């Protein structure tokens, strides 16, 4: 690999900031949703997908549906983002939790989340 290309890849990785926000997993058949927030939404999607595929996800109902109908029937997406601002001191974990609670209260969908009941 050329030195300049290697250098560019390293620079891109340094500048790639995680997406802070909410992840939605929607069952395409029942329209039931699971919403969770994270300071690294892309990593959260990977973690959840891995947990579901290995049968170890914490939400039993979502795990049962995943096992029954399969991964192809679920849609993963980042539904809300919080913009990172290095110039101010913000507790992004708290902001994500507030956003998660607000979103679950506002939406009129059927949720896998226990909080939404």
| Domain locations along the chain | 23-106
The per-residue pLDDT for range 4-46, each reduced to its tens digit, is 878 787 777 777 778 999 999 999 999 999 999 999 999 999 9
Question: pTM of this prediction?
Answer: 0.79
Could you say which architecture CATH assigns to the domain 23-106? Answer: 3-Layer(aba) Sandwich (3.40)
| CA gap 102, 117 in Å, rounded | 14
The per-residue pLDDT for range 55-106, each reduced to its tens digit, is 999 999 999 999 999 999 999 999 999 988 878 888 999 999 999 999 888 8
- In sequence order, the 6+-apart residues with CB closer than 8 A to the CB of 94 are none
Backbone dihedral region of 92: left (phi > 0), alpha (psi from -120 to 50 degrees) or beta?
Answer: alpha
Q: Are 80 and 22 in contact (CB under 8 A)?
A: yes
């Amino acid at each position: 690999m050329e030195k300049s290309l290697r250098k560019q890849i390293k620079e891109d990785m340094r500048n790639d900031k995680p997406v802070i926000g909410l992840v939605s997993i929607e069952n395409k058949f029942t329209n039931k949703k699971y919403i969770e927030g994270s300071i690294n939404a892309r990593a959260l999607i990977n973690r959840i997908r891995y947990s579901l595929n290995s049968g170890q996800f914490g939400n039993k109902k979502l795990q049962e549906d995943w096992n029954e109908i399969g991964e192809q029937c679920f849609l993963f997406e980042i539904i809300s983002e919080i913009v990172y601002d290095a110039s101010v001191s913000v507790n992004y974990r708290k902001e994500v939790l507030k956003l998660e609670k607000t979103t679950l209260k506002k939406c009129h969908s059927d949720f896998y989340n226990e909080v939404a009941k």
